[in-house]
Amino acid sequence: MPGESNNFQKELGEQKEILLKIYEQTQKTKRYILFGRILSLVYLILVIAPVIFAIFYLPPLFKQVVEPYKELLGQDNGLPTSNNSQLINDLLNQLKK
């Protein structure tokens, strides 16, 4: 019986060592997954933030850029687009004379 108790204690010690190794590996895996999630969030922010910024910033910028061309084509006066082509054709005809 004393030999069995000693053998049992030895196996219990080996199992404890194995469990500690498993615990260490589990903690490393947990940190790896957490780091991956944080990195995914950072990538998502790097992609989504410029898109949101563009949605709010670019329309007024485009409006400002297109404004001089509207004046040239006569759209600023409220003329419909179909009349603009007629207006351009009339101007070209006058230049040909």
Split the chain (97 residues) into runs of 10 and give each run's mean pLDDT. 82 96 98 97 92 86 80 61 73 79
Total H helices, total E strands in the chain:
2, 0
Q: pTM score, two decimals?
A: 0.50
Whether the Cβ atoms of residue 84 and residue 74 lie closer than 8 Å to each other: yes
Note the pLDDT of residue 38: 97
The residues, ordered by sequence, that sit 6+ positions from 88 with a Cβ below 8 Å of its Cβ are 73
Note the pLDDT of residue 59: 83
The enclosing H or E element of 57 equals: helix 2-73
The domain spans of the chain are: 2-96
Note the pLDDT of residue 75: 65
